[in-house]
Structure 1
Amino acid sequence: MSARFDLRAEVTAEGRREALRLRLALGMGAVVAAAAVALLGLSGWFITAAALAGAAGTATAMAFNYLVPSAAIRLFAILRTGARYVERVAGHEAALNAVARLRPRLFLALTHRPPEAALGLSAGEAASRLVEDVEALQTLYIRRPAPAALIAGAGLSLVLAAAAHPFAALGIGGTMALAMLGLHWLGRRVAPAGAAVQTASGQLKARLSVVAAAAPELRAYGLEAWAAADAATVADRLDTARRAQAAAEGAVVAWQTTVTGLAAVGGLVGATLGGASLPMAALAALVGVTGVEAAVGLAQAVLQRGAAEAGLDRLQALADPGAERDPGDPTLAPDGAALELGWTAAALAPPARLALVGPSGCGKTSWVERLLGLRPPLAGEHLLGGVARERLTRQAGLDLFAYAAQDIRLFDSTVRENLALADPAASDTALWVALEDAGLATRFRAAPLGLDTPVGLNGGALSGGERRRLGLARAYLRRAPWLVLDEPTEGLDRDTERLVLARLDQRLRERRQGLILITHSAAAATLCDQIAGVTGRDAAGRLQVALRAVRRARSPA
C-alpha cells in the first residue's frame, strides 16, 4: 500500500525548508511594526511641540531643537520602508517556493487515489481545490510575521503611551483587546462566507466545463439559450455567496475603523486626564492607532489562517487514498505475463490475441478496467502471472499492459507532449514510427510544426478519428507485454481502418506482443486467435462468454 499523503506534515516540512526566509520576514515584520509606531508617535509629538513652540514666541521657537526629531523621523521612515520591502519579498518568496513544490506532490497524491474516486471528482471542483485552496496555503507562510509585529508594535505602543501617562496605556490596551475579540467574533461570519464562495466557484467551473465540452451538441439542437440560462443560475449562486462575503468583510473593515478611532480617543483622553502635556497626549493618540493596527494584523492573520486550515482539510480529503486505496500485496509480483481468465482453456501469453465482442453495455470495458486495476477486481476473475489480480497492487498489474481506452483524453498541448505521456524518453524517430503505425504520420509531416503541432483542448483541433489514432499511437509507445485496445477503429472509414489494422498486425508480429481487443468490427476481430463472445454478466458481475478459436488471416484486408 502507498503511504498516506499527510498535507499538514508537508506544509510543516516546507516551512522548515524555507526557515531562513521566514525568519528574515518575521524579523523585518517586527521592525516594520516598531518603526511605524515610533514614526507616527514621534511625528505627532514633533508637530504638536513645534506648533506650541512657535505660538510661545520667537525666543522659544529659536530654542526648539527640531534637528534631532526630524532626523529620527526620517530614520524611522526609511526603516519602515526598507523593512517592509524585505519582509514582503522574503515572505512571498518563501510562500511561492513552498506552494510551487506542494502543488505537484498534491497532484501526484490525487493520481494515486483509487481511479473510481479520482475520476469521480468533477473537473471544476478539482480545479477549484488545486488552485484556490492551494493558493490559500500561502497565508500560512506570508502571515507568520504577524505575531512578531503584534509584540513589537503593540508593545512599543503601550510603552510610549505609558510614557505619556499610564491611563493612556490602559485605554489603548483595552481597545486592542476589544479589537481582537470583535474580529474573532466577526471571523465566524467571514469563514463560512468564504467557504460558500469556494464551493460555488467550483460548481460554476464544473458547469462551464460541461457546457463547453457539449458546445457542438448544444448548437446542433439550438440549446444555446438554455445552456446560458443554466450556467447563469449557477453563476447567480456564486454572486450571492460573494455578496455575503463582501458584507462580512465590510463588517470587519467597519469594526477595524471603529476600534482605531477608539484607540486614538482612548490614548488622548487617558493622557489628558493624567495631566500629560499636549505633545505627549498627541503621541499617545497616534501610537494608539498604530498599536491597534498591529493587533488587527494579528487578528486578520488568525482569520486567514482559519480559511487556510479549511483549505487544508479539503485538500487532505482530496488527496487521502482512503481505506480502499490499494488492496494489493506490494511483496507480490506477477511471474511472467500469462493471463488465466477462468473461461479460457489454458493461460494466454504473448503473442496470443483475444477479441471481446458483444452488445454495448454487456460489461466488456468494465472487465478490461478490472484487469488493468482501474476498477476494484473481482475475486478470482483474473490471474496475472499465476497471481490473483486482487492480490496485486495496481502498478504491478499496469506494468503488463499498454492501454488505449475508448474515450481518448488529450492534453491541450502538442502531439509530442501527448505521446510523451507513454514514454518520456522516446526519441523523435520512435514517435514517428508510432504515428506511422497509427496511420497519422502523413498528417503531421504535412503540418508546419510537425510533432510540435498543437492538438487543442482535449484534441479539439483534431477530428474524432485523428484523436482516436493519436491515442493508439500513444499506447504503441508503452513497452508492455500486452496491448489492450478498446474500439481502436471506431469512427474510421473503411480504407483507414484497413490501413490501421494492417500496421497493427505487422507491429504485433514484429514485437511478439499480445493483444486484448474490444471491438464491434468484424475486420478487427479477424486479427485475433480467439474470440470471446460476451453474452451477459452473472450476479457478481463476471462476464459470461462463448469462446471460440478462429483462423486468423495473414492480413486483415
Structure 2
Amino acid sequence: MSDIQDTLIQKEAPKAAFQQIFTVWKPHLISLVIGIIFSLIALALGLTLMSSAGGKIAFAAMGMLVISSVFLKFLGGGRLLMRYVERLYTHNVMFKAIADLRVWFFARLSKGAAAGLGFRHSGDVLSRLVSDIETLDGLYLRLMLPFASSVLTFLVLIVVIGSVHLPLAICIAFLYILAGFICPLVTASMTKKHGQTLLNSVSQLRIGVLDFIHGLREIRAFGAENRMAALLDKREKKLFEKQYHQAKIVALMSFLSFISSQIAILLILAAALNIGFHGIGAAHIVVCLFLTITAFEVVVPLTKAGGLAGQIINAATRVVGVNKGHGYDVPTGSEDAPDQTDIQLNDLGFQWSAERPFVYRHLNLKIAQGERVAIIGPSGAGKSTLAALLLKVIAPQEGTITLGGKDIALLTEDSVRKKIAWLSQNTHLFDDTIRNNLLLSYPQATDTELWQALSEAAVADVVKAMPDGLDTWLGEGGIKVSGGQGRRIALARTLLSKAPILLLDEPTTGLDADTEMEFFKILNQISSDRTIILIAHRLTGTEKLDKVWRLSDSCLISEN
C-alpha cells in the first residue's frame, strides 16, 4: 500500500467510519441491544449471587439463617443459564453482522476495482477482509458489552456500599473508575496511533507472503530464496516489535488496574478492623468484600480491551476507507438503457484527479449500432480509461456519453452493463468448472447455449475432448488449459451474455502471434448484428473492421 493511500486512510474520521459500520449493522441493532440486555441480566444475577453468598456466610457465622441455600442455587443456576444464553446469542448476532460487513466490503471494493480500476495489493485486501473485519467483532463483544456491564456494576457498587458507609463507597468508586474507565481509556489513547502501524505491519507481511507464493517459480529460478526469506523475516520481526511494544503498554495499565482492585479490597479489610472507616457491621463487611471482588473482576479485563480499542478504531477506518484514492462518483441513474445501441462521445473530458492532467479534452466519437471498430494507441494513451467510461465505472468531468441517444448518466449501471459485454486484457478464470465459469455472465443458460458459445469461440471441440466436458475443473487462474484455450473460454463467456455490444480490451495480451491471429479469425465470424469495439496497441491485419481510430495526444484520429 502506497504512502498516499496510507495518508488518505489515516485522515478518515473514526466517527464517520463507525457511523458507516453501524449503518451496515442497522438491521441487527435490535438484536445487538437484546444481547446487551441478556449480558446485564447475567451480570446482575452474578453480583446478586456473590453478595448473597457473602451475606449467608456472615449471617451463618452469627448463628442466623437469613438467606436460604435454595435461593443461592436458584441464583447460581440462573446465572449459568443466562451466561450461556448471552454468549450464544451475542456471538450469533455478531457473526451475522460481520457477514453483512464483509458483503458491504466486497460491494465497496468492486466500485473501485471494476474494469481493472483501483486494484490494490491482494495481501492488503486479504488483511482488511480477514484481520480487520474480525477485529471489528471486538467492537461489540469486547468493548460495548463489557462497558455496559461495567456501568451497571458501578451503579450497584455505589448503591450497595453507599447504603452501608458513604465514605467507603466514595473511595471504592474512585478506585473502580480508575481501574474500569481511566486505565482502559489511557490504554486506548496510547495504542491508537500504534494500532495503525501494527495493522499496516500485518498487511505488509501478508503482501510479502502472497508475493513469495505467487512468484515462487521465479524466485527459485533466480536463486533468490534466501533474499526473499530474509525480507519476510524482516517484516515479521517488525510486526513482533510492534506487538511487543503494545503488549508492554497494556501490561503496564493492567498492572495499575490490578493494583486499584487490591487497594479497594484492602480498604474493606481496613474497615473490618475499624481502621479509617468505623461503624460497619461484620455482615456488611463480608457482603461489601464479596461484591467488590466480583465487581473488579468485571472491569480489570477492560484494560486489555482498551488496548484492542486502538486496533478497532484503525481497523474501522481501514475497512471503510478501502477505496480511498480509488472511489469515483458515478451518477446512479434511474432509467433503463434503450434498445438502440448507438454510442456517441460528445466533447468528452476526463481526469483521474484534480492533481493530474486530463486524459482527454474535447474527445468526440460516434459508433453506429452493428459497426466493428478498433481504437488503437500506445500504452498510457487512455484506451482502458475509455473502456471504463463506456462501462460507467467512472464518469467524465466534461461532456457526455450517450447510448441509444440517452446520456448514460441517466441510465442505471446494471442496464448499461447488460448492453455491453466486456473482455479484458487480464481475463480471470475461476478455480471452478468450465460450466460455472461460463454461467458467470448468464446464469440461466442451458447446456445447448453453453455449447453454442463455446462453438462460436472455436473451443467446443477442445472441451468435448476433455473427460468431464463442461464439468472439467479449470484450476486456479485456468492453469489446466493453455493460454489460447483459456482466452477462448473467456470469449465464450463474453459471447454468452447476449449483450449487443462487445467491448474487447487488449483481448490477445500474452498470446503468441499465431494464437493471436487465430483468435481474431474467430472474432471475425461472430454474428454481424453485434457492435464490436476492439481496443488494442496494434492490429494484426486479420481483423474485419469498419473503422479504425488512433488515440494520440488525447485525440482520436481516423485511420481509414
* TM-score over 0.5 for the pair: yes
Task: Report SS of the residue matched to 2:421.
Answer: strand
Report the residue type matching 1:312 in the other structure: A
Report the residue type matching 1:97 in the other structure: K
Give deviations 1:51-83, integer Å, cap 9, x for gaps: x56xxxxxxxxx5649x4433332322122111
Q: CA deviation at 1:402?
A: 1.3
> Is residue 247 of structure 1 aligned with residue 256 of structure 2?
no
> Is residue 547 of structure 1 aligned with residue 548 of structure 2?
no
> What's the TM-score once normalised by structure 2's chain length?
0.79
- In structure 2, what is the equivalent of residue 106 of structure 1? 105
Relative distance call for 1:395 and 1:492 in structure 2 (3 A) is same
> Is residue 290 of structure 1 aligned with residue 285 of structure 2?
no
The correspondence of residues 106-505 of structure 1 with structure 2, limited to 5 A, is: 106-113=105-112, 119-142=118-141, 143-162=143-162, 165-179=165-179, 180-273=181-274, 274-296=278-300, 307-318=311-322, 324-326=328-330, 336-340=340-344, 347-357=366-376, 364-374=383-393, 377=396, 379=398, 384-386=403-405, 398-492=417-511, 500-505=519-524
Q: CA deviation at 1:491?
A: 4.9
> What's the TM-score once normalised by structure 1's chain length?
0.79
Give deviations 1:460-479, integer Å, cap 9, x for gaps: 44433333223222211223
Task: Report SS of the residue matched to 1:355.
Answer: strand
Q: Distance in 1 between matches of 2:367 and 2:50?
A: 84
Q: CA deviation at 1:405?
A: 1.1
Q: Is the 8 A contact 2:189 2:310 kept in 1?
A: no
Q: How many residue pairs get matched?
A: 525
**Larger deviation: 197-206 or 41-50?**
41-50
Q: Distance in 2 between matches of 1:265 and 1:387?
A: 80
RMSD over aligned CA atoms reads 3.9
- In structure 1, what is the equivalent of residue 350 of structure 2? none
Task: Report SS of the residue matched to 2:315.
Answer: helix
Report the residue type matching 1:420 in the other structure: L
- In structure 2, what is the equivalent of residue 530 of structure 1? 547
Relative distance call for 1:160 and 1:214 in structure 2 (3 A) is same
> Is residue 97 of structure 1 aligned with residue 96 of structure 2?
yes
Relative distance call for 1:359 and 1:37 in structure 2 (3 A) is closer
Q: CA deviation at 1:84?
A: 0.9
Q: Which has the larger radius of gyration?
A: 1
Q: CA deviation at 1:8?
A: 4.9
Task: Report SS of the residue matched to 1:426.
Answer: coil
**Larger deviation: 261-270 or 344-353?**
344-353
Q: Is the 8 A contact 1:377 1:390 kept in 2?
A: no
**Larger deviation: 482-491 or 182-191?**
482-491
The correspondence of residues 54-73 of structure 1 with structure 2, limited to 5 A, is: 65=65, 68-73=67-72
Task: Report SS of the residue matched to 1:528.
Answer: coil
Q: Is the 8 A contact 2:451 2:460 kept in 1?
A: yes
- In structure 2, what is the equivalent of residue 39 of structure 1? 49
Q: Is the 8 A contact 2:98 2:137 kept in 1?
A: yes
Relative distance call for 1:76 and 1:256 in structure 2 (3 A) is farther
Give deviations 1:219-257, integer Å, cap 9, x for gaps: 332323222222332222222222222222322432332
Q: Is the 8 A contact 1:114 1:325 kept in 2?
A: no
Report the residue type matching 1:76 in the other structure: L
Q: Distance in 1 between matches of 2:480 and 2:507?
A: 20
**Where in structure 2 are there 5+ consecutive unaligned residues?**
1-15, 347-361
Q: CA deviation at 1:92?
A: 1.5
Task: Report SS of the residue matched to 1:318.
Answer: coil
Relative distance call for 1:524 and 1:441 in structure 2 (3 A) is farther
Report the residue type matching 2:182 in the other structure: L
Give deviations 1:86-140, integer Å, cap 9, x for gaps: 1111211222222222321332133234858952433222222233333333334
Q: Distance in 1 between matches of 2:159 and 2:405?
A: 79
Q: Distance in 1 between matches of 2:182 and 2:265?
A: 18
Give deviations 1:284-309, integer Å, cap 9, x for gaps: 22311222234446676676566444
Relative distance call for 1:264 and 1:118 in structure 2 (3 A) is farther
**Larger deviation: 331-340 or 253-262?**
331-340
Q: Is the 8 A contact 2:124 2:204 kept in 1?
A: yes
Give deviations 1:355-396, integer Å, cap 9, x for gaps: 345666665445444444456658569764456778978666
Q: CA deviation at 1:85?
A: 0.9
**Where in structure 1 are there 5+ consecutive unaligned residues?**
1-5, 54-62, 549-557
Report the residue type matching 1:409 in the other structure: H
Q: Is the 8 A contact 1:381 1:542 kept in 2?
A: no
Percent identical across equivalent pairs?
27
Q: Distance in 1 between matches of 2:541 and 2:431?
A: 30
Give deviations 1:190-238, integer Å, cap 9, x for gaps: 3333332212112222233333333333333232322222233222222
Task: Report SS of the residue matched to 2:102.
Answer: helix
Relative distance call for 1:271 and 1:175 in structure 2 (3 A) is farther
Relative distance call for 1:525 and 1:428 in structure 2 (3 A) is same
Relative distance call for 1:524 and 1:365 in structure 2 (3 A) is farther
- In structure 1, what is the equivalent of residue 533 of structure 2? 516
Relative distance call for 1:190 and 1:7 in structure 2 (3 A) is closer
Q: Distance in 2 between matches of 1:170 and 1:26?
A: 27
Task: Report SS of the residue matched to 2:527.
Answer: helix
Task: Report SS of the residue matched to 1:246.
Answer: helix
Relative distance call for 1:69 and 1:16 in structure 2 (3 A) is farther
Q: Is the 8 A contact 2:178 2:257 kept in 1?
A: no
Task: Report SS of the residue matched to 2:322.
Answer: helix
Q: Distance in 1 between matches of 2:163 and 2:363?
A: 93
**Larger deviation: 256-265 or 209-218?**
209-218
Q: Distance in 2 between matches of 1:530 and 1:15?
A: 52
Q: Distance in 2 between matches of 1:472 and 1:524?
A: 20
